[in-house]
Structure 1
């Protein structure tokens, strides 16, 4: 039985402790023998690394269920996670809404809540963040006592190491110290990450990316996002913007993009761009995304051409990324408004990807995985989990 009075312990003290804990967290239950086999650590090193986690209540030994090897008389006791040893708050910040969740150690959502934003100023957003976190943590005994971390996911250029939002196009933020402001307001340890990278972390540790040493996640929605994992590590780049295929130029000199460039994938295939192009093509300034999709599904050549161009742009950018990193799989995800039109451009996306991908890169498996905003909030919580249980350079 878990003792809720146990204090939080700083148990990540070495590469071995990080390796052992994360393997049990993401792939467990798993025996010490199996951990040693997979990692190359000695049995003694695995036992030494696991002991602090057991003492702190994060891990426990299950009943013996398997033997350590042929002829061995001693059964192994798999290590498993106490998922409710610690809780995490994750929040996805959009331009008009906050979507919040509480997760356990395995990033399983146990609570969720939404809060509308009446303004986009950092001060208003942070005040609403505090209110949302207080609401979520007040829903059940133990949440507040066992929650020390808040993860925030936001679109745009984010410096995760400092919590600085350099640029968020949909909120129109520039150089906002969101991490610092949220820490002061909530009293929690705060991580801030680009929303696509946060969703990728959740897939890497707890989803379709488990077991893949390299994969990419591409999101389709208001913008076109991408994040990549190479050699089992999320690639951030020198300034945290690696993987931004939304701003790969595939359209020549047009159309202009909000980033200041021209012909970017996002300026062709993001939801606002698709709606604008459909309005121009059909001569209807009141047309919505739903209306554009309906027109394309009814056979309108002009509307179909808009979605076809979007699919081709995304496919070409995905191929460029695949040629550079050679992922085992690409997960195509995003919120439902963006992915609702997927079947209207899937053929063009796949054709462009196959045509432009070089050699065996074209064999990369494409996986469609819609992600409601609660999953993006879960991604923010997953970043907080990963940050807490990854050895940090000091």
Structure 2
């Protein structure tokens, strides 16, 4: 692998961050339009854009003619040069690592997977370093122009410190993951909760573009939620804002791994659904795929299990909508979660409509299938965000 190029440092002010982010997420866009949307003066926009152009992150496209009364000189839109820098992203699951390399627009260029056989921190860090080395070796350009790596992991993450405070699926507590992986890879490392990372990708590069307020709900092993309010991802004072999976919907319900009882996740996560389906059918060998197939085939007992799960999810989404008032809710998840969605969609929407207050019930629900590589893309999006925001 070739030695990495030295990265220029064009980000020098909040105005620079604002201008670059707008071109990145909404471009190509002219300086005049940037000034109109941001309230910056034309001179301030030009000053902010200049170092990005000189460093090769932005380029001026061919001027486009203006028309209409008062039309001035032709505008030269600013656009991103997506291959100016590359970013690594790794999603850490309970059994494997999924890694990607993306360009500046978070478009996945290459991906790879690596199984996890040991949850010991040292072993996982070594596996991450090996996976990243394989990914960057796919192209000389990746090795030269990749300086940043994002890591996405479920649980309680302190992004500012780079620590995993608690990850239930890895049985980790107080792990300084960013520091350990930075030492092992030589890259700048950002660690984020996986759902918040996916939310950043949606905000900057997906369904959240242009929406000042939205929520992302993930279905699968856990029930997660990322929140954007007034164009900012909400972390909360302790970094755990949006944890709708741990909203209690039944005080007498099953125990949750968090220590609570009756949490949404304890009712509607993949493992609780499977346990309930096995109990309903009397089949201890039933798999989640088998449970989904049985429900689709009309097994009333299994259908009731999914209905209860959907009702719990709908109540939690309504509670979140009542508190936050998002413009839209994007629902996504792993394969099992999305395969299940059709089974409890009616229960979700019914519970949501019945519990949402007033206009909160008008919130638009969007279903977005997403493979696991997209979680790794979310990690890369966080690395991009870290580099280009102040």
TM-score band (shorter)? Answer: over 0.9
C-alpha distance in structure 1 between counterparts of 2:4 and 2:146, whole Å? 13
| Matches of 1:69 and 1:14, distance apart in 2 | 35
Once the two structures are TM-superposed, the CA of residue 70 in structure 1 deviates from its matched residue by 3.1
Partners of 1:186 and 1:68 lie apart in 2 by 52
Give the aligned partner of residue 300 of structure 2.
301
> What is aligned with 2:165?
166
In the other structure, the counterpart of 1:37 is 36
For residue 281 of structure 1, what is the aligned residue in structure 2? Answer: 280
8 A Cα contact 1:66 1:77, kept in partner: no
Gaps of 5+ in 2: none
Deviation for aligned residue 1:180: 1.0
- 1:104 and 1:301 mapped to 2: Cα distance? 48
Post-superposition offset of 1:258: 0.3
8 Å CA contact 1:6–1:56 kept in 2: the answer is no
**Structure 1 match to 2:189:** 190
Residue of structure 2 in register with 1:332 after alignment = 331
State yes or no: 1:23 paired with 2:19: no
Give a deviation string over 1:67-97, Cα, whole Å, max 9, x none. Answer: 3873334101000000000000000000110
Shift in Å at residue 124 of structure 1? 0.9
Q: What secondary structure is seen at the aligned counterpart in 2 of 1:371?
A: coil
RMSD, aligned CA: 1.3
Give aligned pairs, total.
Answer: 388
Helix, strand or coil: the match of 1:66?
A: coil
Deviations 1:290-317 (A, max 9, x none): 1111221222221011000000000000
Task: Give me the whole-angstrom Cα distance separating, in 2, the residues matched to 1:297 and 1:100.
Answer: 33
Per-residue deviation, 1:10? 2.0
Q: C-alpha deviations, 1:256-275, integer Å up to 9, x for none?
A: 00000000000000000000
TM-score (norm 2): 0.98
> Do the aligned partners of residues 96 and 177 (structure 1) sit closer, same or farther apart at CA in structure 2, a change above 3 Å counting?
same
Distance across 2 between alignment mates of 1:115 and 1:181: 19
Q: 2:5–2:144: 8 Å Cα contact kept in structure 1?
A: no
Q: What is residue 156 of structure 1 aligned with on the other side?
A: 155
Runs of at least 4 residues off by over 4 Å: none
Question: Residues 68 and 81 (structure 1 numbering): CA distance in 2 closer, same or farther, change over 3 Å?
Answer: farther
Q: Which residue of 1 aligns with 2:52?
A: 53
Classify the secondary structure of the residue corresponding to 2:69.
Answer: coil
Aligned to 2:246: 247
Are 2:250 and 1:271 equivalent residues in the alignment? no
In structure 1, C-alpha distance between the alignment counterparts of 2:65 and 2:184, rounded to whole Å: 49
Give the whole-Å Cα distance in 1 for the aligned partners of 2:133 and 2:360: 47
**How much has 1:6 moved relative to structure 2?**
7.1
